[in-house]
Structure 1
C-alpha cells in the first residue's frame, strides 16, 4: 500500500531564495514525515547564508492540519532535482548521517536540506558489528528504502565499494535508484573493505577504480535517472596524497558529480584537494571524536572550496552514550532523569501518534464513536489519572509495614514495590471497578503471612489541596487525607522517613533524601510554595507544576522505599 502525507497550513516554516543552477528555480513542497510542520522549498537556499538554518515562522496549531504519512510524498526524481539544486547553490551545506527512519526524520525536522546514510552507523545499529564489510548489498537496500520513504529531503546513500566489480557496481547503482536515494557514494577499496580513518585500508588499481565510476554513470543513464554520483577515494591513507588527487581528477573526468578524498590529514591537504577539477563539487567528512581530518567550521570549509559536508558519527555516537547512561541509571534502581529524555507526549508527537489519532477519526465507525465518548480528556488528573491505588501491608504481628498511594496510570511499576502483586491483573480490577471510588480491590495474605490490601481512591493534585486548605473549605486536616497538613496515623515523632539522619556533616545527602520523602508524601509542592528559602539553600530551581506530576511523585516514592529494602 502506498500512502502519503499532505499538510494544509497558513503559515509554514519556509526556506526561500532565488538561485541559478542546473535546473533553475523550481517550486516544490515538503511535508516532514509524521510531523506537524511543513517545509517549503520554493527555491532552495539564500546566497548570503552558509547553512540551511534560515528565518522560520512556526505554524500555529490553530492554523494547520496534518495528515499522517506512511512514506515520503516526494518522488525520487524530485529529490534528485532538489539535491542538484543544493549542489548548484552558493555556500556549504551540512548533512548529518542517519542510520534508520527515525534518525532521518529527526535530521529533516531539524531543518537540514539533505542527509547521508552511514555504513558505520547502520552496521552498528542493525548488526551490532563493526563497519568492516559485514553489511551486504541487500541489507543496505532494505535499510535505505525505509529511510528514503520516511523523509522528503534527498538522501545520499553509502554504497561502500559497490559490492564487487564494475558489473556489481551497475547493479548497486540501479538498486539504490529503486530504493529512493538521490545520491550514491562509491569508493575504491578492495573487498572486504575497511572503515574510514581505521587501519588496513587497501584500494584497487587506478584503472579499476575509474572503471567503477564509468559503470556507475552507465547504470544511471540506462535507468533514465539523474542520481548524483559521489566518487570517493581512500588512496590518501592507503597510498599517498598525490595518488588520491590523481584519482579524484580521473573520477571527475569519468562523470562523477561530486568527488571526495577520505582521511585528508591537514587543512593544507584539503586546500590542495579543492583545487582539483574546481568546477566539480567537493565533499568533506567531519569525523567527530578524533579522526585524521581536522574538524573545521562550515565557514572554513566553504572558504576552502567544499560544497557538502557529512557528520557521520554524531547521531549514533550520542545515541550510544545516552543508552549507556540510561542503562546505568536503571541498573542502579533509578530511571533516567527527566532532562535526559523527552517527555512521553513529545515522543508520541515525534513518532506521529497525535497525527495518527487525528486522521483515524476520519474513518471512525459508529461503534468507535461511542467508545470514544467514554474516553477521558488529556488532563493528567482525569480518567485513569484521577484515581490512585492505595496499597497497605500489615505484618503478621499487626504492625503496619507500608501504606502508600500510587497513580493508577503506573500499574507496571507497582510490582517493583510490592512483588506479591506480580501475578495480579490490576488493570482488569480497575476496569471492573469502573467509576466506583473507595472500594477495596484486593485483600489477601502473601506467603510470608503479611496482609496486603489494595484500595481505589481519588487523586487530587497537591495544588488543589493547598487551595482548599487556604480557603478553609477543607475538612479537619486530621481527617482529610487530601490536605497538605494531613499526617498519617503511622507517622509520628519516632517515624523514620529519611535515611540517613541529619548529623551536620551529611547535610546535602540528607537534604536530597528529605526532598524525595516530601515528594513521595505529596508535600513537596506545599513546601516549595511556602518555604522557598529551603530550596534556595539547596540551590534547587523548583518548577511548581512539575512537583505534582504523577511521574515525579511515583519516582520519589520508589526511591524512598528502596532505601529501606536495599
Structure 2
C-alpha cells in the first residue's frame, strides 16, 4: 500500500500572532470574531468560514465549570481551553480572554508565556480588581492606573523574554464608574506601556463608540457586543464605520446553546421525546462531519492506517 510522503504538501508553520497582525495591518479588513467556548462551537465557527475566533471567558466558566464569570476559572483551565481551540486550525487566529492576568505581575507573565506557547494569537487583560466580574455587570471594582500598567508592562516584558509573539489587548472596565475620558486615558497609557489594541468595555451608545474610537486612533480598537449587555448591537459595516478594527460577539454560541438546548430538554421532559429537526439536520452524521471525521479518515489513509477503512455511516 502506497503511503503519501509529499514534502511539497508541507505547510511551514506561521505563528497565529503573525497572521492576526497581518489582519490588523490591512486597512480594509474588519476582524469579526464569534465567541466560542469549546471545541465543538469552535468547529462550527470554522465550518461557517470565520477566519478569526474569540474564546470567551464567560463561556469557558460556564462550559468547563458550570459557573458564572466571577474569576472562578484558573489560568490552567483558561489557557488549556484557549490552546485546544487554537490547535484546531493553526491558520485561524484565536483571541482569548485572560481576565485580570490571574494575579501579580509574575502571574501575568506566566499567563502570557503559556498562551503564546499554545499559539494563541492574542489575549486581553483588564483593569478590574482580581475578584472580577463580567464587564456587562454593575459595580465592578477597579485597580489604580499604576497597578494596571504593571500588568501591561509585565505582559509586554514576558512576551519579549519568551521570544514568542502574542498580541496584547488592553481592556478597561472604567467607563461605568470613572467616565469616558478616564477610560480613554487608561487605554492610551496602556498602549504606551506595550499594549497593541485598545478594548473599552461597556460602551453604551453608538455616539460613545464613535467618540472612543476617534479619541484612541490610530490605536486599533475592539468592540465587544454582548447579547443582553449594555453595548448596542451593530453590524460589521457599521462597526467599521464607527472606527473599530476588531468586533467580538462573545456569547453568541452560548446564547444559542442555552435557547436551543433548553427548548429540546423541556420537550423531552414534557413529552418523553423530541421532534426531529427539519431535514434531519443536526444528526450524528452532521456532528461528526463538522468535527472533522472526513479529515481524520484522509489522514489515517495517507499514513497507511486502517482505523477508518470501510466507511463510518
TM-score (norm 1): 0.50
Query: Whose radius of gyration is greater, 1 or 2?
Result: 1
Give the 3-state SS of the residue equivalent to 1:309 in structure 2: strand
Would you say the 8 A contact 2:117–2:164 is kept in 1?
no
The equivalences for 1:422-441 within 5 A come to: none
Partner of 2:258: 320
Q: Is 1:242 aligned to residue 181 of structure 2?
A: yes
Distance 1:275 1:165 in 2: 32
Q: What is the Cα deviation at residue 343 of structure 1?
A: 3.0
Partner of 1:352: 292
Where in structure 1 are there 5+ consecutive unaligned residues?
1-5, 10-27, 30-73, 379-566
Q: Is 1:145 aligned to residue 83 of structure 2?
A: yes
RMSD: 2.4
Distance 1:145 1:341 in 2: 30
Give the 3-state SS of the residue equivalent to 2:238 in structure 1: helix
Q: What is the Cα deviation at residue 359 of structure 1?
A: 4.3
Q: Is 1:82 aligned to residue 82 of structure 2?
A: no
Instruction: Go from structure 1 to structure 2 and tell me whether the alpha carbon gap of 1:355 and 1:253 turns closer, same or farther (over 3 Å shift).
Output: closer
Q: What is the Cα deviation at residue 99 of structure 1?
A: 0.8
Distance 2:145 2:295 in 1: 52
Q: What is the Cα deviation at residue 358 of structure 1?
A: 4.5
Would you say the 8 A contact 1:203–1:238 is kept in 2?
no
Distance 2:65 2:131 in 1: 16
Partner of 2:3: none
Give the 3-state SS of the residue equivalent to 1:231 in structure 2: strand
Distance 2:286 2:175 in 1: 45
Q: What is the Cα deviation at residue 304 of structure 1?
A: 1.4
Distance 2:306 2:203 in 1: 58
Would you say the 8 A contact 2:47–2:290 is kept in 1?
no
Would you say the 8 A contact 1:115–1:155 is kept in 2?
yes
Partner of 2:306: 364
Q: What is the Cα deviation at residue 295 of structure 1?
A: 1.1
Distance 1:359 1:223 in 2: 33
- The alignment of Structure 1 onto Structure 2 pairs a total of residues equal to 301
Instruction: Go from structure 1 to structure 2 and tell me whether the alpha carbon gap of 1:336 and 1:324 turns closer, same or farther (over 3 Å shift).
Output: farther
Q: Is 1:270 aligned to residue 212 of structure 2?
A: no
Bigger mean CA offset, 263-272 vs 117-126: 263-272
Q: Is 1:154 aligned to residue 93 of structure 2?
A: yes
The equivalences for 1:374-413 within 5 A come to: none
Deviating beyond 6 angstroms after TM superposition, the runs of 4 or more aligned structure 1 residues are none
Instruction: Go from structure 1 to structure 2 and tell me whether the alpha carbon gap of 1:354 and 1:159 turns closer, same or farther (over 3 Å shift).
Output: same
Partner of 2:224: 285
CA-to-partner distance for each residue in 1:152-198, whole Å, 9 max, x for gaps?
20001100000112222111111111122110111011021111110
Distance 1:287 1:353 in 2: 33
Distance 1:91 1:360 in 2: 37
Partner of 2:105: 166
Partner of 1:492: none
Q: Is 1:308 aligned to residue 250 of structure 2?
A: no
Distance 1:293 1:359 in 2: 44
TM-score (norm 2): 0.89
Q: Is 1:113 aligned to residue 58 of structure 2?
A: no
Where in structure 2 are there 5+ consecutive unaligned residues?
1-5
